[in-house]
C-alpha cells in the first residue's frame, strides 16, 4: 500500500503574529517556534499504524512551504515515515487553499497513492479546505473529521467513522484510492524512537520547486487584517496573583455568583 500524509507546519499558538504594513497578511519574527499541525500529527500516526498492519506499506510525507518546513517533514521521518517531499513555496501573503490543493494534487498525479491522509484542519487558520480539495482534484472520494479507520485490503476499501455534530457518528465505506481527513483524538501520536532519529539523519528530503504556475488563478484573497474586535468588556485585572484573585472574587461576589 502506498500512503501519503499531507502535513502543514504551523506557528506555536503563543507566538504573536505581526500584521504587515499593507495590512493584508501577518508574519512571525525569528523567535517564533513552529511545529507540525496537531491534526496532521494524528494523520502521520494513523499512517504508521496502517503500515504496522499491512506489510509492504510505504508512508510518504509531503508539505508545502518555505525552507523551514523541512524540519517538520524530518520530524515525521523520525516518527517513522519512509520518505519526505518538500513542495518549496515561499510566500509572505495569503495563499489560497485552492492553490495549495492544486500543487499537492499535481504532485500526487503520477505517484498512485492508495490512501491520502491529512488533518481535518490546521490549528492556525482552521480552514479545513486543502484535504477535500485535493481529493476533488484527483477525482477520489473523501471523508472529513474521521475518528476511526480501518483498511480492508481484500475489498480495496477503507471503513471510516466520522464525527458529526452534537456527538453523533456515522460509519461508511470508501473505495480506495481515497482521502481521509482525521480529527484529533483518533490516536496518540508516538514519540520518535532513537533508531528512527538516526535513520532520519541519513534520509534525504526531496525538494520540488515550481511545478504549476499559480498566477493564472483568481481565487479569494485576504484584503484586510485587523485585531479581533472585543465582543465583551474585556476588563483586565492587574496586580499580583493574590490581588487578582481578590479582585475576581469581589467582582463575582457583586454579580451574586459567589
Stretch that binds another protein, among 53-61, 65-73, 190-198, 226-234 (CB under 8 A): 226-234
Contact in structure between 86 and 74 (CB atoms under 8 Å):
no
Confirm or reject binding of residue 233 to another protein (CB under 8 A).
yes
Which one of residues 22, 53, 54, 175 is an interface residue with another protein (CB under 8 A)? Answer: 175
Three-class HEC string of 156-180: CEEEEEEECHHHCEEEEEEECCEEE
Of 141 and 192, the one with the shorter C-beta distance to another protein is 141
Confirm or reject binding of residue 174 to another protein (CB under 8 A).
yes
What are φ and ψ of residue 18, in 5° steps? -110, 125
Interacting positions 9-68 with another protein (CB under 8 A): 11, 13-14, 16-17, 19, 26, 38
CA atoms within 13 A on the CB side of 66: 10
Which one of residues 3, 43, 61, 178 is an interface residue with another protein (CB under 8 A)? Answer: 178
Q: State the Cα–Cα distance between residues 33 and 28, nearest whole angstrom.
A: 9
Straight-line distance from the first to the last Cα atom of the chain, in angstroms, rounded to the nearest whole number: 60
> Which residues are 83's β-sheet partners?
60
Stretch that binds another protein, among 43-51, 77-85, 122-130, 202-210 (CB under 8 A): 122-130
Of 53 and 126, the one with the shorter C-beta distance to another protein is 126
Which one of residues 163, 190, 192, 197 is an interface residue with another protein (CB under 8 A)? Answer: 163
Amino acid at each position: 500500500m502506498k500512503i501519503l500524509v499531507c502535513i502543514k507546519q504551523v506557528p506555536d499558538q503563543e507566538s504573536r503574529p505581526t500584521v504587515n504594513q499593507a495590512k493584508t497578511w501577518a508574519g512571525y519574527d525569528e523567535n517564533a517556534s513552529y511545529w507540525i499541525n496537531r491534526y496532521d500529527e494524528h494523520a502521520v500516526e494513523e499512517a504508521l499504524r496502517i503500515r504496522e498492519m499491512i506489510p509492504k506499506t510505504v508512508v510518504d510525507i509531503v508539505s508545502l512551504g518555505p525552507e523551514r518546513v523541512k524540519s517538520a517533514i524530518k520530524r515525521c521521518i523520525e516518527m517513522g515515515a519512509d520518505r519526505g517531499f518538500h513542495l518549496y513555496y515561499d510566500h509572505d501573503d495569503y495563499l489560497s487553499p485552492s492553490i495549495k490543493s492544486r500543487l499537492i494534487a499535481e504532485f500526487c498525479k503520477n505517484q498512485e497513492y492508495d490512501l491520502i491522509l491529512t488533518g481535518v484542519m490546521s490549528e492556525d487558520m482552521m480552514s479545513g479546505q486543502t484535504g477535500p480539495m485535493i481529493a476533488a482534484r484527483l477525482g477520489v472520494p473523501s471523508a472529513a473529521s474521521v475518528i476511526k479507520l480501518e483498511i480492508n485490503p481484500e475489498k480495496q476499501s477503507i471503513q471510516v467513522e466520522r464525527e458529526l455534530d452534537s456527538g453523533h457518528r456515522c460509519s461508511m465505506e470508501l473505495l480506495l484510492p481515497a482521502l481521509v481527513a482525521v480529527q484529533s483524538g483518533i490516536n496518540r501520536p508516538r514519540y520518535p524512537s532513537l533508531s528512527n532519529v538516526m535513520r532520519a539523519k541519513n534520509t534525504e528530503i526531496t525538494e520540488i520547486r515550481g511545478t504549476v504556475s499559480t498566477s493564472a488563478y483568481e481565487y479569494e484573497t485576504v484584503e484586510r487584517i485587523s485585531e479581533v474586535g472585543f465582543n465583551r468588556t474585556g476588563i483586565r485585572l492587574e496586580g499580583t496573583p493574590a490581588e487578582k484573585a481578590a479582585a475576581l472574587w469581589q467582582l463575582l461576589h457583586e454579580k451574586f455568583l459567589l
